[in-house]
């Protein structure tokens, strides 16, 4: 039975989250900062060609947040595993905004400093690592292109339950895609979107 007082108390103490977070896949990544010749760089990974998902693409260290694991702990664990460094060699500076890629996939980005880049010894998931000066990135205007996201109801969708039925005016989504070209490397996708957010924050 509905209890107004109980509801009011619950709402007062409710911590806001993203609707659907309980069932969404959560991934955490870390933007590693390293200092080279007195200048700050961002470190990127090139994914191994042997991986089933996104082989050869450029990314930040990261991966799935395991059950009962915090997103911050996952970012550190994945970074240490992929770059084969000790947690003590990594200082986490803080978090960036959550990237909601879809109602079923959230990405939690962090920023950290690797004190000694010479200790990095990438594992088998990483083809290579490279760094880009933040000063160079800050001066670049990334190429901007768009993906049109179209809704396609399945064949059993109950059109009779919604206004205009099969002629319902579904709202299309226009998704921005950023591209950075650095020598032979092309940084794009989720990595570029998180990078744009990081650079905007860094330059404020």
| DSSP character at residue 161 | G
Per-residue pLDDT of the chain (204 residues; tens, 9 = 90+): 899 999 999 999 999 888 888 889 999 999 999 999 999 999 999 999 989 889 999 999 999 999 889 999 999 999 999 999 999 999 999 999 999 988 889 999 999 999 998 899 999 999 999 999 999 999 999 999 999 988 899 999 999 999 999 999 998 888 999 999 999 999 999 999 999 999 999 987
**DSSP-based three-state secondary structure for 102:** strand
Closest CA to 81 of 114, 112, 120: 120
- Provide the CB-side half-sphere exposure for 191 (13 A, CA): 23
Residue 92, Cβ neighbours under 10 Å: how many?
A: 15
User: Which stretch of DSSP H or E encloses residue 81?
Assistant: helix 71-83
């Amino acid at each position: 039975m509905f209890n107004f007082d109980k509801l009011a108390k619950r709402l007062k103490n409710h911590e806001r989250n993203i609707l659907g977070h309980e069932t969404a896949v959560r991934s955490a990544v870390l933007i590693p900062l390293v200092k080279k010749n007195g200048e700050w760089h961002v470190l990127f990974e090139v994914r191994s060609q042997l991986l089933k998902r996104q082989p050869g693409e450029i990314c930040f260290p990261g991966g799935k947040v395991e059950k009962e694991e915090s997103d911050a702990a996952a970012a550190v664990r994945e970074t240490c595993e992929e770059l084969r460094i000790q947690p003590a060699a990594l200082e986490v500076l803080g978090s960036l905004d959550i990237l909601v890629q879809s109602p079923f996939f959230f990405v939690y980005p962090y920023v950290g400093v690797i004190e000694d880049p010479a200790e990095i010894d990438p594992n088998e998931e990483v083809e290579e690592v490279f760094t880009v000066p933040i000063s160079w990135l800050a001066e670049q205007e990334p190429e901007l292109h768009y993906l049109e996201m179209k809704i396609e109801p399945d064949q059993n969708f109950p059109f009779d339950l919604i206004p205009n039925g099969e002629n319902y005016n579904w709202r299309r989504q226009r998704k921005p895609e950023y591209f950075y070209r650095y020598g032979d490397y092309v940084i794009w996708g989720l990595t570029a979107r998180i990078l744009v957010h990081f650079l905007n924050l860094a330059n404020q």
